[in-house]
Amino acid sequence: MKHAQIKEAAAALFNEQRNPFGAFSLGSETHHAVTIPDAVRRCRWIAVDINASGFGLFFVSPSLERARLVACFDSDYPSTGLTTKFISGASGEEMVRHSRISTTPRWWADSGMAVSQQRLGSLAWSEPTAPLAPGTDGIAFPVHAERGQCGLLVFLGPDMTLSDDTLCEIHARCFALFASVARIRPSETGRTRAISKRELECLKLTANGNTSEEIAKLLKLSVHTANQYLTQSTQKLNAVNRNQAVAKALRLGLIE
């Protein structure tokens, strides 16, 4: 099934589940994920439906020179799991190239579980690939959105239950979820990762109601340096002021 057909399936899924009040029926994903936590919840629903023990959503880096997967969130949200950090490394480069030109799901079975290998290997519309993380079993769904954004939804676990009949629906739901996340943070992927730990600390303290002078005292900085960190984080988040930067950081799950 081609990219356009998957998008049609996603649209059909929306039309079937939308109720007269514009919302979706209980247990289904809403069309617009308002926050990252909401998107995480929707991804967890998909994981439950296929009996996956873990998941992650990644954006494909826009740089053609350095192909990599940029993690948006995973099943350890608001933290980031070790497997996700590994996938974001060099092991994801080949998958990035695949995601840019294809929507074919890719699976791997590296846990040594013969049953998992048999289940995933029996999927007709998919292909095997090298493990994104050693010692894991998983399946990766390439997804695309507006503005040329593309990414990957990864589900992990030795007991996943997928069939040819459900594969298309799951992929359509992944497309819909990715489109929602892409609207939440358009073109911000990669930029937010450039925010330093100190800049996030200053944003968090601002969110707690501290002034620049109080932040400087708490972090043992000069007031000028504290303001500089806040200015830099505001620019990186494409915000008009520090209050909007705090709001964006909270919405993206960068601070709590």
Tens of pLDDT, residue by residue over 203-245, are 999 999 999 999 999 999 999 999 999 998 888 888 888 988 8
For residue 117, give both structure tokens. Answer: 């290998």
Query: Mean pLDDT in the chain?
Result: 80
pLDDT at 208 (0 to 100): 92
Residue 51 to residue 120: CA distance in whole angstroms: 13
CB 35 within 8 A of CB 184: yes
- SS3 annotation, 24-82: ECCCCCCCCCCCHHHHHHHHHHHHHHCCCCEEEEEEECCCCCCCCEEEEEECCCCCCCH
Neighbouring C-alpha atoms within 13 Å toward the C-beta of 85: 6
Tens of pLDDT, residues 21-70: 233 333 344 445 468 888 999 999 999 999 999 999 999 876 555 667 88
Residues 6+ apart with CB under 8 A from 61: 67, 68, 69, 70, 96, 189, 190
Question: In this predicted structure, what is the pLDDT of residue 167?
Answer: 92
SS3 141: strand
* pLDDT per position as a tens digit, 136-193: 999 999 999 877 788 999 999 999 999 888 999 999 999 999 998 888 764 444 444 4
Query: Which pLDDT tens digit goes with each residue over 66-113?
Result: 667 888 899 998 888 889 888 887 556 788 888 888 899 999 999 888
Question: pTM, whole model, 2 decimals?
Answer: 0.64
pLDDT digits (tens, 9 = 90+) for 121-131: 899 889 999 99
Helix ranges (H only) for the chain are 3-17, 36-49, 82-87, 93-101, 114-121, 164-184, 197-207, 212-219, 223-236, 242-251
CA distances from 183 to 31, 45, 230 (A): 11, 20, 25
| pLDDT (0 to 100) of residue 146 | 78
Beta-carbon count within 10 A of 122 CB: 11
Asked whether the CA dihedral 66, 88, 100, 30 is positive or negative, the reply is negative
User: For residues 145 and 180, what is the distance between their CA atoms, to the nearest angstrom?
Assistant: 9
Q: Are 60 and 240 in contact (CB under 8 A)?
A: no
Residue with tokens 């890719």: 106
175 within 8 A of 6, measured Cβ to Cβ:
yes
Amino acid 67: pLDDT: 64
At residue 202 the predicted structure's pLDDT band, cuts being 50, 70 and 90, is very high
What are the angstrom distances between the C-alpha of 220 and each of 197, 223, 246?
15, 9, 21
CA pair distance 253, 6, nearest whole angstrom? 29
